[in-house]
Amino acid sequence: MKKKDHDAIRLDRLLSALALGTRTQVQNLIRSGRITVNQKAVFKPESHVNASDAVALDGQALDTRLSRHIMLNKPCGVLTAARDPRQPTVIDLLPPIFESLGCMPVGRLDKDTEGLLLLTTDGTLAHQILSPRRQVWKTYRAVVDGPLSGEDVLAFERGLALSDFTALPARLTILRSSGTEAEALVDVCEGKYHQVRRMFEARGRIVTALKRLAIGPISLDESLAVGEYRELTEAELRAIRQAVSGEKYAE
Q: Give the Å distances, CA to CA, from 227 to 13, 76, 138.
A: 30, 9, 20
Q: Give the containing element (helix H, strand E) for 30.
A: helix 23-31
| Residues in Cβ contact with 33 at an 8 Å cutoff, skipping those fewer than 6 apart | 41, 43
Q: Give the closest residue to 74 by CA, choosing from 122, 106, 121.
A: 106
| Residues in Cβ contact with 1 at an 8 Å cutoff, skipping those fewer than 6 apart | 9, 13, 17, 66
Annotated catalytic, 5? Answer: no
Contact at 8 Å (CB) between 55 and 14? yes
Torsional sign, CA 69, 73, 78, 80? positive
Q: Give the Å distances, CA to CA, from 210 to 85, 156, 162, 215.
A: 26, 17, 19, 15
Instruction: Give me the catalytic one of 12, 110, 122, 152.
Output: 110
Contact at 8 Å (CB) between 74 and 90? yes
Residues catalogued as catalytic: 110
